[in-house]
């Protein structure tokens, strides 16, 4: 287990946190030693627990529940056919979904459309006076999404581009090849570099969301290990999937990520979040994930700082539930 320290005494610099937790440099040996102390995630225990929690979820959701789900959505479009016009429409829908629903937490777009989305969000500013409108963050995928297989300089340049273009949040994917080979330091180094690259010249920074592609990892233990390495590197949110892999999110994978951030909070005092993406299309699915999040991290963390749904069609299902005659 990690060395515990009072939250008030913990520096918020990721490199300093990693140095303290690893008791040395972030190399394969030190990271591997830390990973070996982690609790084991056993499918024979986790799967029945998750199934029991899901069985508790009612399909009869009240308008307040639907509003909560809508406010947790990163309304996403990552299609090869995206255009400036389609992104503008996406932004308008995110800011003002109508039907008495609040704004979504964010919009998420390709790196080359960040400037378009930024301009559209800024132009929607007058809608902030609407009763249900809120601040919509601009998220971008970067770092050679969805596979991360470009040279490091290319990945870094794309990261810098989206931050300069106005992204509030940046979603990257880990080096899954390095993870599967046990090259822990390579996984860590990329996340740590990405954390530095989201810094802005004025001292502020974009939020860093790190995608594990959990459905394509061979074991629950490796998902948990990947989550801890991403947190060591400075992730603000762990994300299940790119939506482009062989498998998307699953309740079990979501539970592991939620357990990882709870473990991180207990051991470091730092509060980070989870983004569930990849195949989350219906209110029924979102309600199950929301219930898991509340069970593992508390009702008070069922907000956009701690939980997101990356989705393109979930909002449509929320609207259909609110207004079935639309």
**pLDDT band at 179, cuts 50/70/90?**
very high
| Whether 244 is catalytic | no
**What are the structural domain ranges in the chain?**
13-322
**What proportion of the chain, given as a percentage, has pLDDT over 90?**
86
Q: Which CATH class is domain 13-322?
A: alpha beta
Residues 6+ apart with CB under 8 A from 223: 41, 212, 214, 217, 253, 256, 257
What pLDDT does 246 receive?
Answer: 87
pLDDT in tens, 201-212: 999 999 999 999
Average pLDDT, rounded, for the chain: 92
**pLDDT band at 3, cuts 50/70/90?**
very low
Kindly tell me if the per-residue pLDDT of 12 is higher than 70.
Answer: yes
Element (H, E) at 176: helix 176-180
Catalytic site residue from 74, 168, 209, 239: 239
Phi, psi of 133 (to 5 degrees): -80, 145
Catalytic site residue from 74, 209, 236, 275: 275
Distance of CA 9 to the CA centre of its chain: 27
Q: What is the mean pLDDT of residues 145-156?
A: 94
Kindly tell me if the per-residue pLDDT of 129 is higher than 70.
Answer: no
Nearest to 239 by CA among 310, 301, 187, 303: 310
| Whether 303 is catalytic | no
What pLDDT does 323 receive?
Answer: 80
What pLDDT does 8 receive?
Answer: 37
What pLDDT does 249 receive?
Answer: 96
Kindly tell me if the per-residue pLDDT of 4 is higher than 80.
Answer: no
What pLDDT does 252 receive?
Answer: 97
pLDDT in tens, 105-115: 999 999 999 99
- In terms of C-beta density within 10 A (0-12 exposed, 13-18 middle, 19 or more buried), how is residue 150 classed? middle
Q: Which of 74-78, 85-89, 131-135, 299-303 has the lowest mean pLDDT?
A: 131-135
154: cis peptide before it, omega within 30°?
no
pLDDT in tens, 222-244: 999 999 999 999 999 999 999 99
Q: Which two tokens stand for residue 261?
A: 């951030």
Q: What is the mean pLDDT of residues 95-101?
A: 94
Q: Which two tokens stand for residue 287?
A: 């309600």
> pTM value?
0.93
Catalytic site residue from 171, 175, 236, 317: 171
| Whether 239 is catalytic | yes
């Amino acid at each position: 287990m990690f060395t515990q320290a009072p939250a008030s005494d913990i520096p918020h610099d990721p490199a300093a946190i990693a140095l303290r937790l690893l008791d040395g440099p972030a190399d394969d040996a030190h990271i591997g030693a830390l990973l070996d102390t982690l609790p084991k995630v056993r499918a024979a225990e986790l799967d029945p627990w998750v199934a029991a929690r899901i069985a508790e979820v009612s399909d009869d959701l009240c308008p307040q529940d639907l509003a909560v789900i809508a406010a947790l959505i990163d309304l996403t479009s990552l299609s090869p056919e995206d255009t400036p016009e389609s992104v503008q429409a996406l932004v308008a829908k995110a800011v003002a979904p109508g039907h008495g629903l609040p704004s979504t937490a964010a919009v998420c777009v390709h790196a080359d459309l960040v400037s378009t989305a930024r301009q559209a969000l800024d132009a929607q500013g007058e809608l902030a006076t609407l009763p249900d409108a809120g601040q919509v963050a601009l998220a971008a995928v970067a770092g050679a999404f969805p596979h991360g297989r470009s040279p490091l300089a290319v990945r870094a340049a794309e990261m810098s581009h989206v931050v300069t273009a106005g992204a509030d949040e940046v979603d990257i994917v880990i080096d899954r090849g390095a993870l599967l080979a046990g090259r822990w330091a390579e996984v860590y180094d990329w996340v740590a570099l990405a954390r530095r690259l989201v810094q802005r010249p004025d001292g502020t920074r974009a939020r860093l969301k790190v995608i594990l592609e959990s459905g394509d990892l061979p074991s629950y233990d490796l998902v948990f290990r990947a989550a801890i390495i991403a947190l060591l590197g400075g992730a603000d949110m762990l994300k299940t999937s790119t939506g482009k892999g062989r498998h998307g999110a699953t309740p079990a994978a979501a539970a592991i990520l939620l357990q990882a951030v709870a473990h991180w909070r207990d051991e470091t005092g730092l509060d980070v979040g989870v983004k569930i993406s990849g195949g989350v299309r219906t209110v029924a699915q979102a309600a199950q994930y929301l219930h898991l999040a509340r069970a593992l991290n508390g009702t008070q963390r069922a907000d956009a700082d701690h939980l997101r749904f990356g989705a393109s069609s979930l909002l449509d299902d929320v609207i259909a539930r609110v207004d079935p005659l639309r």
